[in-house]
Amino acid sequence: MDAIILLGAPGAGKGTIADLVKEKSGYLHVSTGDMLRAAVKAQTAVGLKAKSFMEAGELVPDEVIIGIVRERMAQGGQDEKYMFDGFPRTLEQARLLDAVMEEAGSRVSRVFLLEASKELLVSRISGRRICRNCGAVYHVQNIPPKVEGVCDSCGGELYQRKDDSEETVLNRLEVYKKQTAALIDYYDAKSILLRLDASQPKEVTQARILEVLSRS
Ligand code: AP5
């Protein structure tokens, strides 16, 4: 078993990069944000617990997150390679992941930190549009669809996430600073953190990550 992590503030490009990297690396993309949004849509018990936290831009309680990640990892085999996006987000979640990896005789091998200025993060989030049908992610200026409001891949309708409103975005950035940024030091101390400039074109970041993974 192997695990790598894409760490970074909301809007840094974790989901976009994960989609590109998974195609060429064999890593399984695990996004706790996507899992929670699916649970909210399906109105499961997890979704009902998570909804109000997500809409306010707050973190969903650790016990809920730990439950869904454990459940997801229990479905994978011994040789599974996980690429986490949006997880872990607190020290407690990071320690839990370490414990799960240790139980499997492995460890988190790499953490890629996507760094960007606050201005860039806000402009990326406010321009983000997502396909209601297949989940493809666009940006109205940076990565526009060929036809406005319509997904290139499946023709689905593009929508804006509820928690991408300006007020909620500013809270999400604060929450990242207060609760998640501590993970930078946590992983740096283990000498597995690699800092990447997230303002680069996505293909540049993808190539850098693939190059690092091919050497390990
Ligand atoms: P989550 O879904 O994880 O959201 P997030 O971390 O806030 O990250 P985003 O999805 O906003 O951004 P991203 O970095 O993936 O950027 P993207 O690739 O889309 O979490 C949502 C909520 O769920 C949380 O607030 C919390 O409530 C809850 N939650 C989730 N996980 C949790 C956990 N572990 N613990 C507790 N609560 C949890 O890119 C952004 C935009 O920029 C897009 O439009 C894209 O097209 C564009 N773009 C990306 N890269 C580039 C590039 N290189 N050049 C130009 N444009 C780019």
Q: Which atom of ligand 1 is nearest to the CA of 12?
A: 14
Residue 166 in this model has a pLDDT that exceeds 90: no
Residue 216's pLDDT is what? 79
Summarize the chain as % helix, strand, coil (round to 5): 50, 20, 30
Task: State residue 52 phi and psi, 5-degree precision.
Answer: -65, -35
Are residues 83 and 68 in contact, defined by beta-carbon separation less than 8 angstroms? no
Whether 38 and 96 map to the same domain: the answer is yes
Residue 104 shares a structural domain with residue 124: no
Residue after which a domain boundary falls, among 147, 164, 181: 164
State whether the beta carbon of 73 lies less than 6 angstroms from ligand 1: no
Whether residue 28 is found in the same domain as residue 107: yes
> Which of 164, 180, 198 is where one domain is finished?
164
128 and 11 Cβ atoms separated by less than 8 Å: yes
pLDDT of residue 25: 94
66 lies in the same domain as 129: no
Catalytic site residues? 14, 89, 128, 161, 172
Handedness of CA 23, 40, 13, 182 (dihedral sign): negative
Same domain, 22 and 49: yes
* Count of the separate structural domains present in the chain: 2
Q: How does the average pLDDT of the chain come out, rounded?
A: 96
Give me the sign of the Cα torsion angle 177, 180, 186, 187: negative
pLDDT at 30: 97
* Residues 112 and 144 placed together within one structural domain of the fold: no
In short, whether 29's Cβ falls inside 6 Å of ligand 1 is no
Ligand 1 mutation pick, 51, 53, 59, max ligand atoms within 8 A of CB? 59
pLDDT computed for residue 14 by the predictor:
98
The response to whether residue 33 sits with its C-beta less than 6 Å from ligand 1 reads: yes
Place of tokens 């986490």: 84
Do 192 and 150 belong to one domain?
no
Give exposure, 139-154, as e/b (b: 16+ Cβ within 10 Å): beeebebeeeeebeee
Mean pLDDT for 162-185 is 96
Residue 36, ligand 1, Cβ within 6 A? yes
Residue 116 in tokens: 């960007």
* pLDDT confidence of residue 13: 97
Using alpha carbons, select from 87, 107, 103 the residue that is nearest to residue 31: 87
The answer, as to whether pTM is greater than 0.95, is: yes
Structural domain boundaries enclosing 127: 117-164
The 10s digit of each residue's pLDDT in 38-86 is: 999 999 999 999 999 999 999 999 999 999 999 999 998 889 999 999 9
**Would you state the pLDDT for residue 110?**
98
Neighbours of 131 (CB within 10 A): 20
Residue 30 to residue 33: CA distance in whole angstroms? 9
